[in-house]
Amino acid sequence: MRVVEGIAEVDDLDTFLAALDRVATEYGCTIQAFDARYVVDRTHLRRALDLADRAIARGENVARDRAVEVLLYAAGRRQIDESLTMGVAEGETPVVVVVADDPETGADVWSGADDDAAEAAAVAVAALLTPAETLGDYDESRVRSFFEVGDHELAATGATLAELVHERVALLDVSK
């Protein structure tokens, strides 16, 4: 899995998503872009990808598309429409983009090994963005609201907000 960070200046969302889709198709990779203000850390994305792949391997996936399944896990939701809140929108948005080898190409996604195609795809995705560090620079109030983490929950546990989000990602399997 590669993670590409930057600022997306999106005049037309469909055009931007089509550009990402062209890169994904050209390099045989899965590409999913997220509004970085909702992504707590790299582990958040890694767990979403791993759990999405596991669901697909077991035939338990909700979405037909791997990128959408990753989005569902990252959002901790079964509804695509609700999960899209974590996606990229029109305007200037800090983004983090997951670029992952397609398991059907034979790449070893479980070991974290990336092949040349994933690296080339990540470079192509980076060219669509203004370089910036965005991963981990999340909006705490936005994350708490989206993942429904209240003051009582934070007070009742020694877990960090990031750890609670990781739990929400993992709990999607339970809600299926």
Domain span at residue 126 reads 2-175
Name the token pair of 108.
Answer: 């070893």
The CATH number for 35's domain is: 3.30.2380.10
- What pLDDT is stored for residue 106 in this prediction? 47
Q: In what order do the strands lie in the sheet with 2-10?
A: 2-10, 91-101, 29-35
- What pLDDT is stored for residue 15 in this prediction? 97
pLDDT digits (tens, 9 = 90+) for 30-42: 999 999 999 999 9
Task: Say how far apart CA 53 and CA 120 lie, in whole Å.
Answer: 22
Contact 17, 109 (CB under 8 A): no
Q: What's the start-to-end Cα distance of the chain, in Å?
A: 25
Mean pLDDT, residues 132-141? 94
Strand partners, 92: 9
Number of domains in the chain: 1
Supply the mean pLDDT for the chain: 91
Position 114 pLDDT exceeds 60: no
